[in-house]
């Protein structure tokens, strides 16, 4: 065989093998990453023109449902006016302009009936050409959400209520909020204008504050500090001075004061009940680097769970912050403030919402 032809043949075979290897890599090794990439519109496009199941509260109140339309998209997602702004930041939305957010995104495949479990459970419907859809049931309570909104009374803030027995989230509400129906219409220009207005609104209502924003926990963090101190061997009987303030080391005469400049102190327990800044500032100083290590056992300043998927969270959970191990010697005053939930300590109000999915057959009213 002519040497030139042989070289060309070898080059073609090598290119073919390289192409086959690349395709295999993309379709097998990276298939999940590519499918879950938020820049990939295909999963959204294949679900947008398909009926979706409802999202309901723990009481069974419908928070999101699909209604038929006479346009190319076939369905539009609707959020009942009675609950739209109460649950907006958790439930999210499905928008032809901006994709999906919140539970709508995290459980999109289940809502659209595309999971293997739902299809297997409704095999008869699938064989008959009726697409099954899933119902997402939240642990969130309509009553608890309303009480949270009433408690804020129009003020900016975030309220979280947990079921201490199960860890389920009963309420996750923050103000300001928004109406997700503004983003689900099929008039692209109108939806884009509504989103621009929301992005420019004070308080960033589109940002789900319960898990995507960090705040200083304040005196609630004394629970963590007390637990670390007891775990490190601090005696519950040791009494701390009853004072109005204590000096902050490595500062130019600054002090750490109790609330309202009151006299406060005593044992660790008494100081916890009275929320003494001076006692717990001193505890933070005494713990030193042990405080920075200990807070990580409580999930502070550690990598948060991933967004989406089984967590039902979108966007990603904001990472909490706290003092870094090994920095006490040069930041002693900071550690004293960290111990009372200020300075470097900042956390999100909410843990991961818990949901469960059940299947249902599509109905005429859906």
Residue positions annotated with a catalytic role: 219
Q: Are 259 and 341 in contact (CB under 8 A)?
A: no
Give the number of other CB atoms < 10 A from CB of residue 344: 17
Supply 206's token pair.
């589109």
- Helix and strand element counts for the chain (H, E): 16, 13
How far apart, in whole angstroms, are the C-alpha atoms of residue 103 and residue 115?
16
Question: For residue 186, what are the contacts with CB-CB under 8 A and spacing of at least 6?
Answer: 69, 71, 73, 76, 96
Q: Let me know the angle formed at the C-alpha of 67 by 65 and 70, rounded to the nearest 5 degrees.
A: 155
Does residue 311 sit in helix, strand or coil? helix
Beta bridge partners of 360: 133
Separation of alpha carbons 224 and 302, rounded Å: 15
CB within 8 Å of 56: residues ≥ 6 apart: 62, 63, 135, 136, 137, 138
């Amino acid at each position: 065989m002519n040497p030139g032809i042989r070289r060309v043949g070898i080059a073609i075979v090598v290119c073919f093998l390289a192409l086959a290897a690349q395709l295999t890599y993309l379709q097998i090794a990276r298939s999940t990453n590519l499918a879950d990439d938020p820049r990939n519109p295909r999963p959204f496009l294949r679900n947008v023109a398909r009926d979706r199941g409802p999202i309901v509260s723990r009481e069974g109140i419908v928070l999101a449902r699909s209604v038929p339309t006479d346009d190319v998209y076939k369905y539009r997602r609707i959020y009942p006016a009675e609950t739209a702004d109460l649950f907006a930041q958790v439930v999210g939305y499905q928008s032809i302009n901006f994709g999906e957010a919140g539970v709508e995104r995290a459980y999109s495949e289940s809502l659209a009936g595309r999971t293997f479990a739902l299809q297997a459970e409704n095999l008869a419907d699938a064989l008959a050409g009726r697409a099954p859809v899933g119902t997402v049931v939240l642990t969130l309570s309509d009553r608890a959400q309303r009480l949270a909104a009433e408690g804020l009374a129009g003020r900016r803030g975030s309220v979280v209520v947990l079921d201490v027995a199960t860890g389920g989230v009963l309420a996750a509400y923050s103000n300001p909020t928004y109406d997700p129906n503004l983003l689900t219409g099929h008039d692209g220009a109108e939806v884009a204008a509504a989103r621009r207005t929301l992005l420019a609104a004070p308080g960033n209502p589109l940002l789900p504050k319960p898990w995507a924003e960090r705040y200083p926990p304040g005196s609630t963090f004394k629970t963590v500090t007390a637990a670390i101190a007891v775990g490190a061997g601090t005696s519950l009987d040791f009494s701390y001075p009853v004072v109005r303030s204590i000096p902050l080391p490595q500062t130019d005469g600054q002090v750490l004061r109790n609330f309202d400049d009151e006299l406060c102190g005593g044992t660790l327990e008494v100081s916890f009940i009275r929320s003494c800044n001076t006692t717990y500032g001193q505890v933070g100083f005494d713990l030193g680097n042990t405080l920075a290590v200990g807070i990580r056992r409580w999930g502070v300043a550690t990598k948060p769970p991933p967004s989406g998927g089984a967590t039902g969270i979108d966007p990603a959970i904001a990472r909490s912050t706290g003092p870094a191990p090994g920095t006490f010697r040069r930041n002693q005053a900071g550690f004293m403030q960290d111990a009372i939930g200020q300075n470097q300590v900042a956390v999100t109000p909410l843990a991961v919402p818990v949901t469960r999915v059940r299947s249902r057959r599509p109905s005429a009213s859906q």
